[in-house]
Amino acid sequence: MEAHHCNNRRSNLLLLLLLVSVVANLITASAASSPIAIASEEKLELTLYYEALCPFCENFIVNYLYKLFDNGLISIVDLKLSPYGNAKIRSNDTIVCQHGAWECVLNTVEACAIHAWPAVSDHFPFVYCVENLTYKGEYANWETCFQKVNVDPKPVLDCYTSGFGHELELQYADEIKALEPPHTYVPWVVLDGQPLYDDYVDIISLICKAYKGSKTPEACLGLSLPVTKHKDTDNTLDNKLLGCMLLAWLSLCRINGIK
Ligand SMILES: *[C@@H]1O[C@H](CO)[C@@H](O)[C@H](O)[C@H]1NC(C)=O
Ligand SMILES: *[C@@H]1O[C@H](CO)[C@@H](O)[C@H](O)[C@H]1NC(C)=O
């Protein structure tokens, strides 16, 4: 089962990232004319190992991961979903899921969707829709997602009922079992071969930090400096910046033992 996460370690890393990005932005701003180093254009590999009914997985997909599609980070990320998680294989290749039979159904349905629409931009909306329902306990309504995201149900239903979805799940089982280091809980997020452990909620800044290519998306540049993309953001961003500075100051205090 999912353990509670270590909040201290995570928030310290977040503070450090915020501090680094504030400083980096100040430096960049003062040296705006210096040439940008052109590095490899390769995308980052990001894989999410999850299971359909794990609350932390639902939360990650519905409240964090979707942002990659909203802020353009998906353009520098090769995102793969692996819907199997902590399920176990019993005799006869029967799969037993951590959160019961419904989870096996929805893992398989999502595996079928990924297979039916291989481009992540095509299957993610469906997976998101299903997880958005399960997050609210409405997993039995998953079939409404075909209509909601406007896709043909047939390939997914055929895949599920024919047993092909079960075969896909067995493949995902092999995939997660082969992980090195092995996964210890879900959501298990791996960025360029490195598990993020509990830091997965900082996915945006971790992606920006890991990216070495030259096509840095605006979302990375705007991590701590105001951007004018959305209306009504100036105040929020100013407040965020103030918040960052306050947090940075607090963390310095903590480091110095003043707190
Ligand atoms: C394995 O599957 C076969 C055929 O579906 C079935 O007859 C048998 O009872 C199953 N064995 C176990 C241990 O589940
Ligand atoms: C997700 O759930 C929220 C809250 O119930 C709902 O307002 C929203 O329309 C859902 N989004 C999708 C894409 O299904």
pLDDT tens column, 7-18 = 333 444 444 444
Containing 235, the helix (H) or strand (E) segment is helix 234-255
233 lines ligand 2 (CB under 6 A): no
* Cα 230 to middle of ligand 2, angstroms: 21
Does pLDDT of 243 surpass 60? no
Does pLDDT of 185 surpass 60? yes
Quote the pLDDT of residue 27: 43
Phi, psi of 46 (to 5 degrees): -125, 120
Phi, psi of 153 (to 5 degrees): -70, -25
C-alpha to C-alpha distance for 101 and 87, rounded to whole angstroms: 11
Does pLDDT of 119 surpass 60? yes
Answer with the residue of higher pLDDT: 222 or 124.
124
129 lines ligand 2 (CB under 6 A): yes
Does pLDDT of 127 surpass 50? yes
Does pLDDT of 138 surpass 50? yes
Quote the pLDDT of residue 223: 74
Does pLDDT of 244 surpass 80? no
Max mean pLDDT range (40-44, 153-157, 225-229):
153-157
Quote the pLDDT of residue 32: 38
Atom of ligand 1 nearest to the CA of 94: 14
Report the DSSP beta bridge partners of residue 189. Answer: 48
Mean confidence (pLDDT) of the chain:
80
C-alpha to C-alpha distance for 195 and 207, rounded to whole angstroms: 13
Quote the pLDDT of residue 234: 41
Phi, psi of 3 (to 5 degrees): -95, 165
- Give residue-wise pLDDT tens across range 17-36: 444 454 454 444 444 333 33
For the chain, how many helices (H) and strands (E)? Answer: 11, 6
* Cα 133 to middle of ligand 2, angstroms: 8
The ligand that comes nearest to the alpha carbon of residue 144 is 2
Q: Are 218 and 229 in contact (CB under 8 A)?
A: yes
* Cα 213 to middle of ligand 2, angstroms: 34
